């Protein structure tokens, strides 16, 4: 029996596939076990190719983020992207998709984790290192409210439905 997490992940992957196919790209699920890609996508002519890793959540929990791991800090490819899908609270909510280059995701994860490690816990103790990471829409709890927060509330909005970042547009699709 499939777990709720597995079903949610599959729903996110298929939602992203649907959005890619709607845009007339050729997209396919990568074979199981590929470490950096859930979807492989190309333009119709086969001239431009990229891979996508999909992370999916529902609007539960307090921080609005997606589960990641330390390995994602090392996934930095010019043709590797993430699609962060937020299905909202109910099935009536329109899903949100944030299309982000892997280099930006890796940098945010690395910088925020290093800042968290350098900050003392609530009882004055050092944080223990872990493989777990969170990609957050607001890192104010980590960096504080000062002007030194590189990832304040709203920093991800420029990536919302930013399918153009995949670089798959052809002259034909750009003319529309």
- What is the spatial distance between Cα 139 and Cα 153, in angstroms, rounded to a whole number? 7
CATH of 4-171, one of 3.90.650.10, 3.30.2320.30, 3.30.960.10, 3.40.1350.10: 3.40.1350.10
pTM given for the model:
0.92
Choose among 26, 30, 29: nearest CA to 42: 26
8 Å CB contact between 23 and 68: no
| Cα 145 from chain centroid (whole Å) | 24
Segment among 19-23, 89-93, 109-113 with least mean pLDDT: 89-93
> How far is the C-alpha of 88 from the C-alpha of 70, rounded, in Å?
26
Q: What is the mean pLDDT of the chain?
A: 91
- The whole-number average pLDDT for the span 83-96 is 92
Q: Residue 89: pLDDT band by 50, 70, 90 thresholds?
A: confident
Secondary structure tally for the chain: helices H, strands E: 4, 7
């Amino acid at each position: 029996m499939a777990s709720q997490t597995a079903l949610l992940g599959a729903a996110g992957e298929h939602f992203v596939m649907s959005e890619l196919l709607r845009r007339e790209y050729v997209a396919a699920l990568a074979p199981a076990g590929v470490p950096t890609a859930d979807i492989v996508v190309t333009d119709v002519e086969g001239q431009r190719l990229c891979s996508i890793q999909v992370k999916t959540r529902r609007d539960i929990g307090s921080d609005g983020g997606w589960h990641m791991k330390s390995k994602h800090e090392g996934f930095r490819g010019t043709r590797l992207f993430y699609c962060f899908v937020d299905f909202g609270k109910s099935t009536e909510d329109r899903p949100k998709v944030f299309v982000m280059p892997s280099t930006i995701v890796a940098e945010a994860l690395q910088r925020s984790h290093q800042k968290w490690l350098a900050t003392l816990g609530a009882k004055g103790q050092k944080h223990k290192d872990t493989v777990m990471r969170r990609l957050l829409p607001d890192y104010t709890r980590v960096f504080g409210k000062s002007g030194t927060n590189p990832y304040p509330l709203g920093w991800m909005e420029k990536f919302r439905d930013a399918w153009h970042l995949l670089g798959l547009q052809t002259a034909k699709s750009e003319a529309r």
